[in-house]
Amino acid sequence: MKKSIWRILTICIFSTLLFSSLLACNPDSDVPSGSDLEDQITAIIAKIDPATPSTYGAPEEIIDFGRDSVPIMLELLESPDLPSRYAAVYVLSRLAEPEDIPEMLVGLEDDDFGNRATIAATLIWLGDNSGIEILEAALLSDEVLSFSHPPELLADYARRVLDEAPQHLPSLPGFDRPGGAFLSAPLQAPLRDVTVELEDCTIKIVVNLQFVGAGATQALADSWAAGIKDMWEGVHCSVCCAISITVNTKVGGDPDEEYAQVTVIQMPHAGARHTSNMTLGGTVMEGGGVNNIVGEWDSNDTPAVAAHEVGHGMGVEDEYGEDGKPTGEAVGESEGDGVPSIMAQTWKDKEKQDTEAKARHVDQILAHHGIECPDKCGCIATPTPKFGEALAGFFVAFFEVAEDPGGHGPFTDLPIEQYLRVEVTDAIGPSTGDIAISAAAPFVPVYGTIVDGVFSATGVGTVAGFPNISVLFEGSITNPLAGVYTLGVNGGLPGGLAISYNVEGTKDAPLEEPEATEEPDEVVVEETQPVEEPETVSAMQLVETFSTELVNAMQSHDTTFLFDRLHPAVFDLYGEDACNVYLEGVAGYSQIVALDVQGPEAWTWEIDGVSIPLEDIYTIDVELTLPEGKELISVLHYALVDGELLWFTDCGEPLP
């Protein structure tokens, strides 16, 4: 049974390559014709039940008939039956060619907004802008795109289509996404497609996904893996235990039986319709493993869609039905009471709350895998302190040269006694998180991970006058702190030889000083280390505060704040009008976490082919979270003007 599936998949991929056409994937060698074809299409459409989301993908079977189906689908655009018209726009969004444009125009009159928008999007792809006003109106709609799975907002669909075709809509500049590497999950030894095991009070889940097909790319795999992890990591079952999830991905290659096979269909354009799916839970094997999970996703799928589909792969069911309306417990959550469910929708609610995975979903996963959510952990009676709280704080640390074969010691200027600020943030599991250790210069701040009190963190900075020197700080931090701080691990110091210090420290104060203390951090730093200026700490505080204000303004569309805090150089370059238009549509970030701050110092803004020299600029290494949950490491610049921070952005086309 399994073998024959692989054969069909292999044939599909092969024929796609051979005919360089997405339409050649047809496992049946002879397509029916005439009334036989019409009968088969009618039978396929009869499977579509508006109340059952799992049936929305039925038109995919019509796609398999190729262009032979198009004349029938063009006629169905005028059918009185909604599922028939939906099937028609679905198939045409993938198979239509410019010669079909005149007959497709009737679809712009469809009673269903989603159908009208899909035809409008397909027409744009074919070079016809007749439906542009429908998509502009869809941007303002709060309706759900009909027959979408998982449900997508019509406005999100329209935004995606218009972002892909910005030349058609000069008044809506696209959001300039910063570059950088995506964070992806660590690769662990693969088990089965999806395994769920209870270890003490942790629900350990490993999801192995192999993406095959014309649309499978590493970039998509990485962003989906990050989206899945963000959604499911740390979610508790209804009693107490939390999930620790590992997502392993492969792109292409021979089918690996340890990996769920996900065929990724290459969508011809941003508005092309496809209904992604994943078999619910697969087969539970003897011993608890689960195998034979198969999915079909597409290249337009967002990280939220991936998180929803993997929910199905773990054994969770949809929480929405007809017209994209939430069902069961998701009803209230999607209507202002609580936080919306990822199994019910993919968009933020009116209070800008992102969707989340729920305790009841974890219960379903455990039940599906025959595991009882135990109440022995006692997490509810005595909640364990938030990970990191006990570890974070200020440490008085002593540095002693351990190894210095290059004789750099006299030049590094590193004080014997240092006041270290240790932050443990963004916990990603019950014993695992991120750690940031900073101190006054010339200490080079480091950032890394911490597991069970053992940390490994790296940084890059200026050492003994040499820039871009790599630094490694490894050790344990359970008070006392003990570790080794090594400068020049990349061989950047003269002679290529590194210098390492043994570090021992004891905790002096928690990070948050009591309210009663005035100017907490600065006073503490001055008392302990009067020689060093307290500037490093206050610069970080300034940057953190402004980053939070910036994110809040982006989330609440506070364009006044965003405009007022833009640097004058931005207005000189683009003009105030262009920036106003840009800010109206800015998607922004969901979170900015500052990892390291340099400056204030001179900096040249290189933008749109122009070089603008500026003074008093902070350069900040940041971890950004994009609205769709994607995380990336990037660099931001803020300017210090009259004690206030200002930001920079690309408002579109520079003034002539």
Rg, the chain, Cα only: 28
Nearer to Zn ion, 306 or 464 (CB): 306
Tell whether residue 193 is a contact of Zn ion (CB under 5 A). no
Residue 358 has, within 13 A of its CA and on its CB side, a CA count of 21
The single-letter code of the amino acid at 44 is I
| C-alpha distances in Å from residue 503, one per residue of 58, 132, 419, 477 | 63, 64, 12, 11
Return the range that interacts with Zn ion (CB under 5 A); candidates 318-326, 411-419, 463-471, 515-523.
Answer: 318-326
Nearer to Zn ion, 54 or 432 (CB): 54
- Total binding residues for Zn ion by CB under 5 A? 2
Nearer to Zn ion, 214 or 310 (CB): 310
In the stretch 90-129, what mask flags binding to Zn ion with x, by CB under 5 A? ----------------------------------------
Return the range that interacts with Zn ion (CB under 5 A); candidates 317-325, 436-444, 478-486, 620-628.
Answer: 317-325
CB of 317 vs Zn ion, minimal distance in Å: 8
The single-letter code of the amino acid at 55 is T
CB of 290 vs Zn ion, minimal distance in Å: 18
Write phi, then psi, for 484 (nearest 5 degrees).
-125, 125
CB of 345 vs Zn ion, minimal distance in Å: 11
CB of 630 vs Zn ion, minimal distance in Å: 21
Return the range that interacts with Zn ion (CB under 5 A); candidates 125-133, 150-158, 324-332, 486-494.
Answer: 150-158
Residue 259 burial class via C-beta count within 10 angstroms: exposed 0-12, middle 13-18, buried 19 and up: buried
Return the range that interacts with Zn ion (CB under 5 A); candidates 128-136, 147-155, 174-182, 518-526.
Answer: 147-155
Nearer to Zn ion, 57 or 475 (CB): 57
Nearer to Zn ion, 342 or 477 (CB): 342
Inter-residue contact 646 to 565 (CB < 8 Å): yes
CB of 318 vs Zn ion, minimal distance in Å: 4
Query: For residues 131 and 158, what is the distance between their CA atoms, to the nearest angstrom?
Result: 11
CB of 152 vs Zn ion, minimal distance in Å: 12
Nearer to Zn ion, 365 or 463 (CB): 365
Does residue 491 come out as left (phi exceeding 0), alpha (psi in the -120 to 50 range) or beta? left
Return the range that interacts with Zn ion (CB under 5 A); candidates 108-116, 311-319, 366-374, 630-638.
Answer: 311-319
Inter-residue contact 468 to 484 (CB < 8 Å): no
Query: For residues 569 and 643, what is the distance between their CA atoms, to the nearest angstrom?
Result: 17
The single-letter code of the amino acid at 376 is K
Where helices occur in 506-567 by DSSP H, the ranges are 520-528, 535-555, 559-564
Query: For residues 421 and 436, what is the distance between their CA atoms, to the nearest angstrom?
Result: 8
Nearer to Zn ion, 318 or 628 (CB): 318
CB of 332 vs Zn ion, minimal distance in Å: 20
Query: For residues 440 and 460, what is the distance between their CA atoms, to the nearest angstrom?
Result: 15
CB of 157 vs Zn ion, minimal distance in Å: 17
Inter-residue contact 558 to 565 (CB < 8 Å): no
In the stretch 449-488, what mask flags binding to Zn ion with x, by CB under 5 A? ----------------------------------------
Nearer to Zn ion, 360 or 557 (CB): 360
Return the range that interacts with Zn ion (CB under 5 A); candidates 88-96, 142-150, 208-216, 582-590.
Answer: 142-150
Nearer to Zn ion, 150 or 282 (CB): 150
Return the range that interacts with Zn ion (CB under 5 A); candidates 143-151, 262-270, 333-341, 588-596.
Answer: 143-151
Burial 46-72 (b: 16+ CB within 10 A, else e): eebebeebebbbbbbbbbebbeebbeb
| Crossing angle of the two packed helices 359-368 and 303-314, in degrees rounded to 10 | 40
Return the range that interacts with Zn ion (CB under 5 A); candidates 314-322, 388-396, 435-443, 559-567.
Answer: 314-322
The residue number with the shortest CB distance to Zn ion is 318
Query: For residues 312 and 295, what is the distance between their CA atoms, to the nearest angstrom?
Result: 10
Query: For residues 68 and 540, what is the distance between their CA atoms, to the nearest angstrom?
Result: 63
Q: CA-based angle 511:514:519, to the nearest 5?
A: 80
Nearer to Zn ion, 232 or 501 (CB): 232
CB of 369 vs Zn ion, minimal distance in Å: 19
List own/partner pairs for 427-433 with CB under 8 A and 24 or more apart. 427/234, 427/386, 427/387, 427/388, 428/233, 428/234, 429/202, 429/233, 429/234, 429/242, 429/244, 429/387, 430/201, 430/202, 430/242, 430/244, 430/384, 430/387, 431/387, 432/244, 432/387, 433/387, 433/388
Nearer to Zn ion, 150 or 459 (CB): 150
Tell whether residue 318 is a contact of Zn ion (CB under 5 A). yes
CB of 52 vs Zn ion, minimal distance in Å: 11
Coil/strand/helix, residue 405: coil
Query: For residues 211 and 188, what is the distance between their CA atoms, to the nearest angstrom?
Result: 18
Tell whether residue 296 is a contact of Zn ion (CB under 5 A). no
CB of 280 vs Zn ion, minimal distance in Å: 9
First to last CA, the chain: 65
Return the range that interacts with Zn ion (CB under 5 A); candidates 43-51, 316-324, 380-388, 459-467.
Answer: 316-324
In the stretch 240-259, what mask flags binding to Zn ion with x, by CB under 5 A? --------------------
Nearer to Zn ion, 53 or 289 (CB): 53
Nearer to Zn ion, 318 or 596 (CB): 318
CB of 540 vs Zn ion, minimal distance in Å: 43
Nearer to Zn ion, 24 or 294 (CB): 294
Nearer to Zn ion, 306 or 436 (CB): 306
Query: For residues 579 and 585, what is the distance between their CA atoms, to the nearest angstrom?
Result: 10
The single-letter code of the amino acid at 455 is F
Nearer to Zn ion, 235 or 304 (CB): 304
Nearer to Zn ion, 233 or 318 (CB): 318
CB of 85 vs Zn ion, minimal distance in Å: 23
Return the range that interacts with Zn ion (CB under 5 A); candidates 123-131, 149-157, 187-195, 636-644.
Answer: 149-157
Residue 655 has, within 13 A of its CA and on its CB side, a CA count of 11
CB of 308 vs Zn ion, minimal distance in Å: 6
| C-alpha distances in Å from residue 30, one per residue of 1, 65, 69 | 22, 9, 13
Which is nearest to 391 in space by CA: 520, 451, 508, 479?
Answer: 479
Which is nearest to 628 in space by CA: 154, 215, 227, 172?
Answer: 227
Return the range that interacts with Zn ion (CB under 5 A); candidates 145-153, 414-422, 470-478, 480-488.
Answer: 145-153
CB of 314 vs Zn ion, minimal distance in Å: 12
CB of 324 vs Zn ion, minimal distance in Å: 11
Contacts to Zn ion by CB under 5 A? 150, 318
